[in-house]
Structure 1
Amino acid sequence: MKKKILLCLVCLLLAGSPARPANTAAVLPILEIVKTVTKKVIKAIDLRIQKLQNKTIWLQNAQKQVENVLSKLKLDEISDWTQKQKELYKGYYEELAKVKSVITYYQRIKEISVKQTRLIREYEKAWNLFKQDQHFKENEIQYMERVYSGILDESLKNIDHIFLILDSFTTQMSDLKRLELINTAADQIEANYDDLILFNQQNIMLSLQRAKTEADLQQVKQFYGIR
C-alpha cells in the first residue's frame, strides 16, 4: 500500500495545482459504519471485562473463606479435610487464574480497538482539512477519497477479525491460537494506522510544496498546525 501511495503522490506532484470549487467530497459513507461498529466492540469488551472482574471478586472472596477455615484448623483436622473440600479450593484457584487470563486477553483486544478509534480520529481531522485546502484539485481530492475509503475498508476488516477473537472465547480454542489471532489483529491495525499517518503527512508536504509565496507557506503551516 505504501508503494502505491508514494507512486500516486508523484502523480499528484506532476498534475499541477489549479484552484478548485469550494464544494468538495462529502464524508465517506463507510466512516459511520466503522465508527459505529468500533464503538460497539469497545462497549462489548468493557461489559465482558466488568463481568469478569465481578467474577474475580467473587472467586477471591470464596477463596479467602476457604483459606480462613483452613487457618483455624489444627493439623489433625486438616488431615481429615474432605476430598470434596480440597477439590473446591483447587477449583476456585484454577477458575480465578483462568478468569484473570481472559481479562488480560480482553484488555489487549480493547487496546487494539482504541487504536482503531485513533485511526478514525486522525482520518476525520486530516480529511476535513484536505477538503478545504485550495492547493489540491478536485480530482486529487477524489483520489484521496478513494485511498481513505480503502484504508477504512481495511480497518473494517480488522474489526471483523476482532469479532472472530471475541467469538473464540465461546469455542474450544487454545490460548496459543487465540494469542496468535490477537497479535495478527494488532499488527494489522498498526500497519493500517501507519499507512494513514504516512498518507496524511505526504499530502501535507505536497500542500507545503505548492505554496507560491512565503505568506502562503506560513498560512499552510498554520492551517495544519505546523510550528
Structure 2
Amino acid sequence: MKAKLITCMICLLLIGNPARSANNTVALPILEIVKAVTKKVIKAIDLRIQKLQNKTIWLQNAQKKVENVLSKLKLDEISDWTKKQKDLYQGYYEELAKVKSIITYYQRIKDITKKQTKLVEEYERAWNLFKQDSHFKESEIQYMERVYSGILEESVKNIDQIFLILDSFSTQMSDLKRLEIINKAADQIDSNYDDLTLFNQQNVMLSLQRAKTEAEVNQVKQFYGIP
C-alpha cells in the first residue's frame, strides 16, 4: 500500500510538471521523493541486516554449546534427553541457515537500491551540464527533459518492486518467487541505468560533433570530463 501511494504521488508530480525552460531543473519534486525513499530503504535494510547479524551470533553461540555437550556424550548414552539435544542442535542449524539466506537477500536488495541512487545522481550530473551547453537548442533541451522524465518514471517502478520484496519476508512467499522478484527488479534498474548512460553518451557525442574547431572540441571534452 505504501509503495502504491508513493508511485501515485510521483506520477501526479510528473503530470503536474510539464517541460520547463532550459534554465530550470526538471521535475525536482520527483527527484527529491526518489532520493528520500531510496535513502529510507537503504537505512531500513541496514537495520534489518544488523538485527539478523546479531541473531546469527546468538545462534552460532547456542549451536556451539549444544555441539560441545553432544561431543562429550558416549555412544551408549543415547537417550531421549540426548535426542532432544540433537533436535535442538538441528533446529539452531536450520534457523542459522535461514537467517544467513535472508541476509544475502537483503544485501542484494541494498545493491539494487544503490543502483537506483546512482541512476539519479548520474541523471542530475549530466542534466546540469547539458543545460549549460550552448551547442544545444532550447527545443533539444526540452526533448532531453521529456526523455529523462520518462526514464525516471520507469525507474520509480523499481521502488514498488523493492517494497514488495521487503514485505515478502513477513509473508509465506517462497524463496523461488522472492528471488524472481529480486532478479526482475535488478534487471529493470540495470535497463533504466543503461538507457540513461546511452542517452547521455549520445548527447555528448552530438555536442562534440557540433564543435567547429579543435580548441572547441577540447573545451567540450574538458567540460564533460572526457580524457
Does TM, normalized by the shorter one, top 0.5?
yes
Q: Does 1:24 align with 2:28?
A: no
- How far residue 83 of structure 1 moved from its aligned partner, in angstroms, is 3.8
Task: Report the Cα offset of residue 27 of structure 1.
Answer: 4.3
Residue equivalent to 1:138: 138
Cα separation, 1, equivalents of 2:141 and 2:41: 31
Match of 1:191 in 2: 191
Task: Provide the C-alpha distance between the structure 2 equivalents of 1:129 and 1:78, rounded to a whole number of angstroms.
Answer: 75
| Within-5 A mapping of 1:77-226 | 77-79=77-79, 81-226=81-226
Contact 1:25–1:142 under 8 Å retained in 2: no
1:82 is displaced (CA, Å) by 4.1
2:178 is matched by which residue type in structure 1? Answer: R
1:79 is displaced (CA, Å) by 3.9
Superposition TM-score, scaled by structure 1 size? 0.86
Say which SS state the counterpart of residue 212 (structure 1) adopts: coil
Aligned-partner Cα distance in 2 for 1:176–1:193: 26
Contact 2:22 / 2:138 at 8 angstroms: preserved in 1? no
1:74 Cα offset (Å) = 2.4
Paired with 1:80 and 1:214, the residues of 2 have a C-alpha distance of 87
Structure 1: how far apart are the matches of 2:146 and 2:96? 48
SS at match of 1:81: helix
Write the distance in 2 (CA, Å) between the matches of 1:147 and 1:25: 16
C-alpha distance in 2, partners of 1:220/1:28? 26
Q: Which runs of 5+ in 2 are unaligned?
A: 1-20
CA contact (8 A) 2:112 2:189 kept: yes
Deviation string for 1:56-77 (max 9, x for gaps)? 0100000001011112222233
Give the counterpart letter for 1:63 in structure 2: Q
Identical-residue share of aligned pairs (%): 83
Matched residues, number? 206
Q: Deviations over 1:173-204 (max 9, x none)?
A: 01100000011001000000000000000000
How many Å separate the matches in 2 of 1:93 and 1:51?
18
Please tell me the residue identity of whatever aligns with 1:170. Answer: S
- 2:154 counterpart letter in structure 1: E
1 or 2 for the larger relative contact order (CA 8 Å, sep ≥6)?
A: 1
Structure 1 runs not aligned, ≥5 long: 1-21
Rounded to whole Å, the distance in 2 between the matches of 1:149 and 1:32 is 14
What's the counterpart of residue 65 of structure 2? 65
**1:28 alignment partner AA:** A
TM-score, normalised to structure 2, is 0.86
Give the Cα–Cα distance (whole angstroms) in 2 for the partners of residues 179 and 49 of structure 1.
Answer: 18
